[in-house]
Every structure is written in structure tokens, then in C-alpha cells.
Structure 1
Amino acid sequence: MELHRDLEGNFLTEPPQNSARLHNSKRRISGIQSMEKRVRLTAKCSKNKGKCVSKDYISNLSSETLVSILSQLTLREAVATSILGRRWRYLWTSITILDFDATKATDTIQSGPMYVKWVDRVLGQYEVSTINEFRISFDLDQNFMHAINSWIEFAMTREVQRLEMDLLGQRPYNTLSSRRCSSKCKRLWISQSCGSSREQFCLNLLSARTPTFHGNNFLKDLYLKNVGITQEVIDYFLANCPKLERLSVCGSRHLVKLSVSGSSLSLKHLEVVYCTCLKYVDIFDTSLISFKYVGLDIDLFIENVPLLVDLYIGVGKGNLDKPFLDDYLSQFSCCLSQLQVLTLELIDGFVDEVYSKFFPPLNNLKKLVLEVGAWGEDHLLGLTPLINACPYLQILELKMPWIKVEDHDRRKMRRGIKCPHKYLKVLEIYGYAGRTCEFEFVMYFIRNAVALEKILIDPRDQIVKRTPLASANLKIERTARRLAKSQLEAKVPPSIQLVIL
């Protein structure tokens, strides 16, 4: 029987499946081995012949340089270099980035106990007293509480600057929730945003069952994905990590309320995503620069955030009792005039409902990103009143996840209300399928955006293009690309660069 080894030197009775990444890793390590071998042979030959032909450049490299090279590899690849020689044996323990991501298809770690064993073994050999980044990414629940807590303590006591935990890394989210979707689709969205039905690991730094954390004066970025946290935990991090600038909470089933306040906080960027038990968010008297909320319909209170310039709002509702934009933009009335970047997910609403509404002027807005459900019967010109409220807009992105791609609205093109866009330079459309509503949307800006320099068209499905299911839509994608070329190449003037991906 032919035996194979994984990156840690363990024997496998069968070759690993889907081993493209493993093959690349072995090739990198093999390249280093062969290089060292060539250098040794060259040095030996030059000694025998009495003349200098080459030098052992690898041996002459400083440890700092070699550690820098190892930092470009994955953690498992870096650990695997320990077999190259005596000097390499513990060299990997000097890297300052520990990324324990075992969610790739090529990984041989298939269970929680295997993952815990791997992480514990690596940390047991690690010698550096400070680390820059520490990342845990695997499907773990409350049963692994002791191990997870010990890892957090390890990172915090080593002055970690970026801490990331993703305990359900293999479960993708589907952000679609629309009144045109079936109830099954809505339940799927809610169940995925809640994560697994198993008991979610709950991070409770104040519990006697967990280690006592004394804070960290170096932590700047904290990402908690599929980790149960509460308001008390967030308060603890904000109080004990005075340099914390970025906080991201995704998929927590324990977070019910979130309140962030205090002008003395260093927090600059806040993200709250898919926390389906969340009832309200209250933010005031802070120095936030960016804020992102994606989830179910909740109460958002924003007040006295003078530095907020980047806002991302995506709300999925079960119904549209209140118009989306009227309801949510009004809650940000105190900061709309200062925004420079605005991202809105309009998956839940008809584009027609936006049409002919009055919006307050967004005089500082430079970039607008709109994500809308790609329904054949919608006409995208309904978005123009919102776009026209941004007189100094420079970049416009339209993202359309494919919900229904058939172009059954074979009708005459509309021209829309004429409005000059004097500063718009870049128009990007993602999910272009060649429907009449998309074509007339592009033509509207060709006629009205006098400073337009570039139009980018991406015909790929914005939902599945990041998943293995993307190949199922290749036929639709090819048709969309062909339609984009036939519709636009003859219409776009030479002064505008047309890019069709």
C-alpha cells in the first residue's frame, strides 16, 4: 500500500482529496529543499576545485528575513518547514501571525477534537511572547468551551493586535429575504443567520468558569463570528482594551441589545451582522468613522457621531409595512449630510417604491453602493431620485443578486428624468443579465453623466459566484456577457472606457 503524508508528517492510507492546495504547499517546501541541496552541492564543488563558484545564500540570510518569508505561507505550511533542517526546526515559532483556518476543502482536519489537538500542539511549541494576529476558524460549539477559552487567554497574554474567531466557518449565509421569496426562503435566511442548531459557544469573560482576562493594551481589531456574546462582553472589551479600533460581531444568537457610547473610546469601525435576536442598537457620542448593520428590522438610534462618513445598511423584513428608505434613512438624519460612502441593500423592497420619492441632499457623498433584487419586472430607473440627491457623486455601484433572470419585459426603453451628473466618473454594475431595465439604466448615465470615464459590467451571479455552484450558471453568464457586448459596445462613446468581465 502506498503511504502519503499530510503537511504535519502524519501518514495517510489514501491520498488527500481535492489536493490542489496541498500539492502547491508541497511544491513550495520541495522548492526550498532542492534549493538548499543545490547550494550545498555548489559549495562542496567549489571547495574541491579550489575556486569560488557560488555562495550558500540561504545560510547567509538573517533569521528575520527567513521568518518574513515564512510569514507569507499558511501556518500549516510554515510548520511543515521544520523538516528542512536543524536551523529550520523551530524557526516557524518566530512568526507573529497564527491563522488556524481549517475550513478549506483540502484540509484533512474533519472534526472538532482533531482541530483542538492541532491547535494545542502548535501553541505548545510556540515561543514568541508577542503576536500580531491570531485567528480561529472551524465548526466548534459550546462543547469545546475549555479549549477556546484557553486559546483566547493565550492570545490576550501575548499582546495580540488582531483577534478573529469564526466558529462556524463552513456555513455560508444567504442574505436574501424578500416578500417575493417563499416563506421557506425566509426561514432559510433566519436559520442560516442563527447558525447551527447546536448550542453556540458563548463568550463570557465575567464567568467564574472562564479564565480571568486582565485586558490588552495592544488589541486593535476584534472579529467575533458565530460566537455568542452579550452587551456585558462588549462593554468588557471596550473598557479593558483601550486601543480597540475595529469591532465586528456576526451571527451571535445571544446579543439582544447593543449600546456603544463614550467620546473617549478609540473605536472607529463597528459592524453588526446577522444577529437575529438583536432588538435595538443605540450609538451616541462616539468617534465612529464607519458603521455597518445587516440583519432583521430593528430600531437603530444614531446621535452625535460627527466623524461618521461610511454607512452600510442592509435590512431584511418579513413585510414592507413601512417604506424601507423613509424608515431607515430618517434614523440617520443627523449624519446624512456628512456621509462620503453609503451602501444600501434594497433586497426587500420594490425598486418602484423608491421612484419619485424626495430625498434630502447628500452633498458630501462620493460613493453610493446599491444592492437590489434582480427581478425582471422592476425598472431600475426608480433608483434615480436617490442617486440624483447626491450631486457630487463620483462612484456608483449597482449590485444585483440573481433572483429571476428571465427578460420577459420586452418593452420600449424609458429615458428617465433628465438630471446632469457633473462629477460621476465610474459606473459599476454587478450581476448584469442583459434585461431591458439594466440596458436603459446604463443608457441613462451615458446621456446624463458628462464626466463619466469608465463603465464596468460584471455578468456573474452575485450570489453563487463565490461558491462551488457557480459552474451551474455558466450558461446564463455566457448569455449575459454576449447581451452586454451586443447592447453596449456600439452605444458607449469612445471617451468612456467599457470593461466587460
Structure 2
Amino acid sequence: MGDYISELPDDVVSYILSFLTLRDAVRARLLSRRWRYLPYCRTVLRLDALNVFGNEGYNRVSHRSKFVRLVDQFLDTLRDQILRVLVLHFGLDNEYSSHIDSWILRAVTMGIKELDLGCQLNLSSCCTSWISHLTTLHMFGVRMNHNDMVFIFSSALNLTSLSLEHCCYPRIKCLKVELVGLKKLLIDDILLDIKLNCPNLEVFECIGQLSNLTLAHLPFLRQAKVFPISRRDGGSSIFAELIRFAPHLKALSFFVRPLVIQPLPLTARISKSCLKQLDLLMLVPYGFDLFGITYFINACPSLEILRLKLRPLTFTRQSPQKEYPDCHHQLKEVAIDTYSQKYNLVELVLYLLRNAVALEKMVIACSDKEKLTTLLQNVNSSAELIIRHNH
């Protein structure tokens, strides 16, 4: 069998080797001088427990040294290699920062522009000279302080996509992001304040205990996902900030904790929002009147799709004072995923059916389909009403 393999062209052998774990690939390359420096035929290099050892359970402290040794051996076999993406996910700490630096620098010489780094080290322990070469950077669990963040935003001038997940150690009170070329930003962490000045940003996601969001003009922002969990005003002021400074925003997923939903500031109510789709995730106290979310709907005159995702809270709060605004002329689709009497949704549903004059379809998932059908059977609306049983 060995003779048959030896007769295969180099590109075929290289293709076969690419399906082996990194450990087995190193062993196979050592069998033949001809095979040792065959190019790695993939442009994405994944360095994790599964691809190095063939077993995700090998991501333990006791396997760190072996992991580093195998990666070093494998990279030594690469010659004139072209790579596009490097993925490094393993529980390596500061002790191995020099190895991580050398791997990334080696990958940069091979042409990588995208780095996905998930390790347990402090960013300050690396030399990070490689960061200016990247266009896409995703970091998970890499500990960064305020100075590390400042370094990234002053050095990574070529970044078009940045993702930071659980990286703020210690907790960073204020994060100021200024990257002219950045088009996509994802932050999943506990932050008190974000100041965002990225004029070419197209996609923005922020999930965490965000208390304040300050924006410069974002003329190209089309999609946003913002979960201001710690806001006491139900998120009204942050919603208003998005409407005001992202005039061409088309799709927004927004977290609302409606302890008391406050009316939007006047600046939001007079802004011309182009929002087409609004997804509201809400933690709702028992018996709370959801009519207050009309503040959000009324700020979006071009809205076509509204989706409500409701999750229960165990305490009650005072309901907001009701206001009955003009009709909604663009809203075409509404989806409510959890209808329950404890959410006091009847009035909101009736309001939408009567005032959304362009409404084409409303889909409601509820536990008592028969009772809700009876409540809504006499409503004068041309919309298709679909009531589904929620198991």
C-alpha cells in the first residue's frame, strides 16, 4: 500500500494528509522526506483539541505542552504555504505567550488576514506586532485591560471586522471604539459605557450589561443587535440614540426590560427612521401592561416586521400611561412567540390589529388557542391572523 501512495502526485498526497488530525499529519510527514514539506492544501488552519488530537476532551492543562510541541512540529514542515485564516482555540495561558506570538507571526508571513483567538492569556503578555496585519479579529476569553483595548483601537487600523467575547478583565467602565475602516463590530461583555465612532460601520452587536451608548454619525449601519440589560428606562434612551445616529438602519434586535418603559426623547420621535424590522426581546413582570412598547413602534414609521419574544419576571410593576398615536402605514407582519394572560397582551394585540392599516399577517403562539380566538373573532382587520398552540 505504501508503494501505491508513493506513486500518487504531490497534490493528491497533500489533499489526503489534510484530512488527518495535526498529530497524525506530523507523524505521516515524518515517514517520507518527499512528504515532509508538502504544502498544506487548505487556506484555513484550525489549531484546537479536535483538530490536533482528534478529541475535544484533550483541552486540559495536562495536554498543553503536547499541544504546543505538535503545533511547533507541524508549522516547521510548512514551506511556501498560503493561509487565509488562523483559528487557535486552546486553554493556553501566559506561560505559552511566546509560542502563540511565533505561530501568529508565522501565519502572517503566510498571508493570513483573519485571526480567531480563544486562549486564557493576557493580551499584554504577547508582543501583538501582528495585529496591524489583520482585517478580521475575533477574540474569546483573552483577558484585556483598558490599555490593551486602547492599543487595539490605535494599532489595528486595517480591521474591517472585530469581535470581542468575554475579554474585559478587569471590568472596563468605558470602551471607546474609533476605527475608520471597521464594518462589523460584535461585543459580548459587561460594559458600563460604549462610545462608538466608526463611520463605515454596517453591522453592530452589543450583548451585555450596557448602561450607556454614545454614537457618532453612522450613515452605513444597516443591522444592529443591542441588549442594554441594566437600563432602568427600559432601553428608551439607547433606542433613541440608534434611531437618531443610524438613519439608514434596516433591522434591529433590541432587549427591553420594561420596569417602566419611558417615552422616547423628542429627538427620536422627530427622526426619520428607515427601520424595516424590529425584534424586541422582553423580560416582562407578571401582569405588566405591554402597551408601552408602542413608543418604540411609533418611532419607526417605515416598520414592516415586528417580532416580540417574551420572557417572564416574577414581580410586578406599574403599567405605563397609554397614548394612542396615529396609524401605522408600513407595518406588514407581527410575530408574538409567547402569548399569555399574565403579560396583559390583549390590548396591545387589539391596538396593532386596528391601527396597523397595512398589516398583512399576525402570528401568535399561545397556550390557550380557543380562548384567544374567541377574544379576537370580532376585530375588524384584513390581516391574516394565525394562532398556534404553544407547547
TM-score by length of 1: 0.58
1:29-44, aligned counterparts within 5 Å?
A: none
Query: 1:356 and 1:242, CA in 2 relative to 1: closer, same or farther beyond 3 A?
Result: closer
1:32-431 paired onto structure 2 within 5 Å = 63=12, 93-102=40-49, 107-115=56-64, 117-118=66-67, 120-122=69-71, 124-126=73-75, 127=78, 129-167=81-119, 201-204=121-124, 210-211=126-127, 213-217=129-133, 219-230=134-145, 232-234=147-149, 236-238=151-153, 240-251=155-166, 252-254=168-170, 255-261=172-178, 265-276=180-191, 280-284=193-197, 286-317=199-230, 320=232, 323-329=233-239, 331-332=241-242, 334-347=244-257, 349-350=258-259, 352-354=260-262, 359-360=268-269, 361-404=271-314, 417=324, 419-431=326-338
**Which secondary structure does the structure 2 equivalent of 1:373 belong to?**
strand
Evaluate the alpha carbon distance shift between residue 398 and residue 63 of structure 1 in structure 2; reply closer, same or farther with a 3 A threshold: farther
Q: Secondary structure at the match of 1:372?
A: strand
Kindly provide the CA deviation profile for residues 442-478 of structure 1, in whole angstroms up to 9, marking residues without a partner as x: 4543444344444455x6xxxxxxxxxxxxxxxxxxx
Cα distance in 1 for partners of 2:382, 2:255 equals 31
Distance in 1 between residues matched to 2:35 and 2:336, nearest whole Å? 49
Residues 367 and 148 of structure 1: CA distance in aligned 2, closer, same or farther (over 3 Å): same
CA shift, 1:393, in A, is 0.5
- In 2, the alpha carbon distance for the partners of 1:433 and 1:88 equals 65
| CA 1:242–1:404: 2 relative to 1, 3 Å | same
Q: Which amino acid aligns with 1:160?
A: I
- Is the contact made by 1:116 and 1:147 (CA closer than 8 Å) also made in structure 2? no
Percent sequence identity is 21
More strand by share: 2
Aligned length: 364
Q: Distance in 2 between matches of 1:355 and 1:334?
A: 15
Aligned 8 A contact 2:164 2:188 in 1:
yes
Q: SS of 1:445's equivalent? A: helix
Deviation at residue 417 of structure 1 after TM alignment:
3.9
The answer for unaligned runs of 5 or more in structure 2 is: 317-321
* Cα deviations by residue, 1:422-451 (Å, 9 ceiling, x for unpaired): 322332334555655345544543444344
Once residues 371 and 338 of structure 1 are traced to their aligned partners in structure 2, the CA distance between those partners, rounded to angstroms, is 22
Distance of 1:243 and 1:416 partners within structure 2: 48
Structure 2 SS opposite 1:145: helix
CA distance in 2, matches of 1:77, 1:120: 10
Q: Could you say if the C-alpha distance between residues 130 and 240 of structure 1 is closer, same or farther in structure 2, counting changes exceeding 3 Å?
A: farther
Q: Distance in 2 between matches of 1:417 and 1:120?
A: 68
Structure 1, residues 59-91: CA drift from partner, whole Å, max 9, x if none?
899749958x96xx89779969979x9999998
Q: Cα offset for 1:268? A: 1.4
Instruction: Give the root-mean-square deviation of aligned CA atoms.
Output: 4.7
SS in 2 for 1:266: coil
- Contact persistence 2:261–2:293 (CA under 8 A): no
- The answer (yes or no) to whether the contact 2:211–2:229 under 8 Å persists in 1 is no
Distance in 1 (alpha carbons) for counterparts of 2:373 and 2:234: 32
Is there any run of 5+ residues in structure 1 with no aligned partner, and where? 1-35, 41-58, 168-199, 409-414, 460-479
SS at match of 2:214: strand
